[in-house]
Amino acid sequence: MQSRKTGSAHWSEASIWKAVGPLSGLLALSWIYLPILWLIVMSVSAEPLSGFPGPFTSRHYAELFVQSGWVAPLMHSFWLAFAVALVSMICATMIGRAVPRLRRGGLPITAVVLLPLMVPGVVIGTAMFLYLRVFLGFKLGLWSLFAGHFVWAFPFSLLAVLVVSFRFDTRLLDAAADLGSGPWERFWRIEVPLLKDGIIAGGLFAFLLSFNEIARSIYLKGKVETLPVYLWQQASSHSSTVPLIFPLNVIILLASAVLVGVAFWLLFHGARHQESQR
């Protein structure tokens, strides 16, 4: 009789824990995705600031292409993100291909490069503002935004390149060298094709991180206005253009989701492809 009670107690406790796991996961996912779903629904609502959906209309999307105040910040963010992505791809390729070949120094170098990920954005932004503007007396603008965004985006690009570079078989380079290939030919014809998935994924991550960056941009923008800063200023000012923020954010969300999907597909598709060839 006692064993039955003990078994029943263990069974009920296991059932509780089995229920708690999915429930906590569902609550976490709801907390993440419900605000995004609410944003999408309110972007097609007539009065989004009321907080209640409906009546539904596409008027705000039409008005978005009539208003032009967001175009200049969008262009600033786009070209800034493009420059950050390009430089991050180049630097991540140079460092990422070398780190796996270092026996002792690879881990310290990687740790130093990834350290800015652990520092809050407001701290980096404040430090760079005080150093560039107050200490050095430089005028802030696109170049200071680039510097701040690069500090934030580059470690992610490096991680993407490291994912594929640690899978790289360096014996291919030794074989090519034995056949008479020079360093540049080995790099361009062997390394780049095998590392390209990580390089492109790193560039996409850097582009998105720069395009959506606001914590550092507030301190380093000078007179240049990026799109995230513009949206933040419009939302905080309670101006008449606030309803346009909803459709504009939805468009950015969809474009970002596509880029993130492509980046992850490149990383994991490349891994499966290499495993299938072994």
In a domain, 217, yes or no: yes
CB proximity list for 48: less than 8 A, separation 6 or greater: 42, 60, 243, 246
Close Cβ partners of 100 (under 8 Å, ≥ 6 residues apart):
106, 162, 165, 166, 168, 170
Do residue 18 and residue 124 come from a single domain?
Answer: no
Max mean pLDDT among 109-113, 227-231, 241-245, 269-273 falls in: 227-231
Least confident of 24-28, 98-102, 137-141: 98-102
Q: What's the structural domain count of the chain? A: 2
Lowest mean pLDDT among 61-65, 202-206, 227-231, 274-278: 274-278
Same domain (yes/no): 116, 229? yes
Is residue 53 in some structural domain?
A: no
As a whole number, the mean pLDDT across the chain is 81
Q: How close are the terminal C-alpha atoms of the chain, in Å?
A: 57
- What is the residue type of 256? S
Residue 273 is predicted with a pLDDT of: 54
- Whether 141 and 15 map to the same domain: the answer is no
Taking the C-alpha atoms of residue 130 and residue 110, their distance in angstroms, rounded to an integer, is 27
Residue 156 belongs to a domain = yes
Q: What is the pLDDT of residues 197-253, one digit of tens each?
A: 889 889 988 998 999 899 899 999 988 999 889 888 887 776 556 677 888 888 888
Residues 106 and 176 occupy one common structural domain: yes
Largest CA distance in the chain: 83
Instruction: Give the tens place of pLDDT for each residue, 128-181.
Output: 999 998 888 889 999 999 999 999 999 999 988 888 888 777 777 778 777 777
| Residues 32 and 93 grouped into a single domain | no
pLDDT of residue 38: 87
**Range with the poorest average pLDDT among 13-22, 44-53, 70-79, 149-158:** 13-22
110 and 227 share a domain?
A: yes
- Between CA 208 and CA 217 the distance in angstroms is 14
Q: Same domain for 256 and 125?
A: yes
- Is 95 contained in some domain? yes
In this structure, are 33 and 73 located in the same domain?
Answer: no
Assigned token pair, 227:
């799109």
Does a structural domain hold residue 64? no
Global pTM value: 0.78
Radius of gyration for the alpha carbons in the chain, expressed in angstroms and rounded: 25
Q: What's the rounded Cα separation, in Å, for the pair 226 and 149?
A: 12
| CATH number (domain holding residue 269) | 1.10.3720.10
Length of the chain: 278
Instruction: Answer whether residue 220 is part of any domain.
Output: yes
* Same domain, residue pair 21 and 144: no
The one-character DSSP state at 169 is -
**pLDDT band of 56, cuts 50, 70, 90:** confident
Angle between helices 245-277 and 142-165 (to 10 degrees): 30
**Domain range for residue 17?**
2-43
Residues 105 and 180 in one domain: yes
Q: Which two tokens stand for residue 26?
A: 């569902």
User: Is 56 domain-assigned?
Assistant: no
- Distance between CA atoms of 115 and 273, rounded to whole angstroms? 31
**pLDDT value at position 67?**
78
Peptide bond into 193 cis (omega under 30): no
Q: Give the residue among 248, 223, 209 at the shortest CA–CA distance from 92.
A: 209
pLDDT band with cut points at 50, 70 and 90 for residue 10: low
Q: What pLDDT, on a 0 to 100 scale, did the predictor assign at position 185?
A: 81
Q: Tell whether 209 and 162 lie within a shared domain.
A: yes
- Does residue 62 lie in a domain region? no
- 37 and 150 fall within a common domain: no
